[in-house]
């Protein structure tokens, strides 16, 4: 029971950090100084350094060759593709819309886990999926500027966030067997190392030409938050949670993101709440609740 409670606590902490991360990445995107691929490279490099330093205080661990390929695939799904789609989407999508679409992740996770674990799909699950996707479509078709000075969400940004949820849910569904074989620190060190090696060839020119002198204090602090908390701490916490509770339960804590992003986004003037957005969000959340209730009765 204690391990289960710890799993829930670390999953909650991770998604709370991710909620603040949406606003931090939005601030970085609005600066126009750091392209998405550069921010990802900062995250991967920082994580490799921090996890490598942490590994110095732990017993040395050797990763089997056959597992390196599995970790590479997990790295592409859980880090590289997930983060690139998010960082591009956040430039053209409001924080609230990003977080609402991200709430579809539990549904995606349930389906991929169902494929992996051969769990049947019920009519309630199908109904829940239909409700949630109706909410997402409503967001897309109502992504209009309703107030001067408040930016609009691009349908492309919402689509990228759907892909983001798909990639991350596949990662949650397939990665648990490998995570269980190694320490969290060893696993995450290899994950971020692979992601860094993939991103660097696309990013060397941008990194060399960035206007580092133009970085404001708030921009530097935002980048540090993204690297240290939203990358190192959050992914470390999620990996612990994955070892202790089911992937579907881990993904359910993505509901924390819309609450944090909506409150901070409106408070800082990055977003505006409309009845269309509220209705769309309710459809998404009700759909996810129906899916989860169906899963609970089936298990």
* Residue 298 domain flag: no
Mind listing the pLDDT tens digit for each residue in 212-231?
A: 999 999 999 999 999 999 99
pLDDT at site 49: 97
pLDDT at site 288: 65
Q: Distance between CA 286 and CA 282 in Å, rounded?
A: 6
pLDDT at site 148: 43
- Counting the structural domains of the chain, the total is 1
* Residue 246 domain flag: yes
* Residue 110 domain flag: yes
Q: Distance between CA 47 and CA 220 in Å, rounded?
A: 16
pLDDT at site 147: 44
* Residue 55 domain flag: yes
Structure tokens at 244: 């202790």
Q: Is the pLDDT of residue 41 over 90?
A: yes
Q: Is the pLDDT of residue 199 over 60?
A: yes
Q: Give me the domain span that covers residue 172.
A: 2-120+152-271
* Residue 297 domain flag: no
Per-residue b/e over 103-139, b at no fewer than 16 CB within 10 Å? bbbbbbbbbbbbeeeebeeeebbeebbebbbbbbebb
* Residue 277 domain flag: no
Mind listing the pLDDT tens digit for each residue in 122-164?
A: 777 678 767 776 776 676 566 544 444 455 678 898 899 989 9
Q: What predicted TM-score, i.e. pTM, was given to this entire model?
A: 0.77
* Residue 279 domain flag: no
pLDDT at site 7: 82
Q: Distance between CA 13 and CA 240 in Å, rounded?
A: 11
Q: Is the pLDDT of residue 291 over 50?
A: yes
Mind listing the pLDDT tens digit for each residue in 53-103?
A: 999 999 999 999 899 999 999 999 999 999 999 999 988 887 777 777 777
Q: Between 259 and 221, whose confidence is greater?
A: 221
DSSP code per residue over the chain: -HHHHHHHHHHHHHHHHHHHHHHHHHHHHHHTSS-HHHHHHHHHHHHHHHHHHHHTTS---PPPHHHHHHHHHHHIIIIIHHHHHHHHHHHHS-HHHHHHHHTTHHHHHHHHHHHHHTPPPPHHHHHHHHHHHHHHHHHHHT----STT-PPPPHHHHHHHHHHHHHHHHHHHHHHHHHTTS-HHHHHHHHHHHHHHHHHHHHHHHHHH--GGG--HHHHHHHHIIIIIIIIIHHHHHHHHHHHS-HHHHHHGGGHHHHHHHHHHHHTTS----HHHHHHHHHHHHHHHHHHHHHHHH-
Phi, psi of 149 (to 5 degrees): 90, -10
Mean pLDDT of the chain: 82
* Residue 201 domain flag: yes
Q: What is the mean pLDDT of residues 100-124?
A: 70
pLDDT confidence band for 260 (50 / 70 / 90)? confident
pLDDT confidence band for 235 (50 / 70 / 90)? confident
Tell me how far CA of residue 123 lies from CA of 128, 130, 199, in angstroms: 9, 10, 41
Among 7-21, 131-145, 180-194, which stretch is predicted with the lowest mean pLDDT?
131-145
Q: What percent of the chain stands above pLDDT 70?
A: 79
């Amino acid at each position: 029971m204690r391990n289960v409670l710890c799993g829930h606590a670390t999953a909650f902490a991770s998604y709370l950090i991710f909620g603040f991360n949406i606003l931090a990445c939005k601030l970085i995107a609005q600066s126009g100084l750091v392209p998405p691929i550069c921010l990802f490279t900062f995250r991967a490099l920082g994580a490799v350094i921090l996890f490598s330093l942490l590994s110095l205080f732990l017993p040395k661990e050797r990763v089997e060759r056959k597992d390196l390929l599995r970790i590479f695939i997990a790295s592409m799904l859980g880090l590289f593709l997930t983060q690139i789609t998010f960082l591009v989407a956040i430039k053209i999508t409001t924080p609230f819309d990003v977080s609402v679409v991200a709430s579809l992740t539990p549904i995606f996770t349930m389906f991929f886990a169902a494929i992996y674990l051969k769990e049947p799909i019920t009519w309630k699950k199908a109904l829940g999926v239909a409700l949630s996707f109706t909410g997402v479509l409503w967001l897309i078709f109502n992504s209009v500027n309703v107030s001067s000075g408040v930016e609009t969400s691009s349908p492309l940004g919402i689509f990228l966030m759907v892909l983001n949820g798909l990639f991350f849910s596949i990662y949650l569904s397939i990665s648990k067997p490998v995570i269980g074989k190694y320490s969290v620190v060893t696993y995450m060190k290899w994950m971020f190392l692979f992601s860094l090696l993939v991103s660097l060839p696309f990013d060397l020119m941008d990194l060399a030409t960035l206007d580092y002198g133009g970085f404001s204090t708030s921009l530097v602090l935002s980048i540090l938050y993204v690297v240290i908390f939203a990358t190192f701490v959050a992914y470390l916490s999620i990996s612990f949670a994955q070892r202790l509770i089911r992937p579907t339960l881990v993904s359910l804590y993505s509901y924390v993101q819309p609450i944090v992003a909506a409150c901070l986004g409106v408070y800082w003037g990055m977003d505006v709440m409309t009845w269309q957005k509220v209705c769309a969000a309710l459809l998404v959340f009700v759909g996810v609740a129906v899916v989860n209730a169906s899963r609970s009765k089936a298990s």
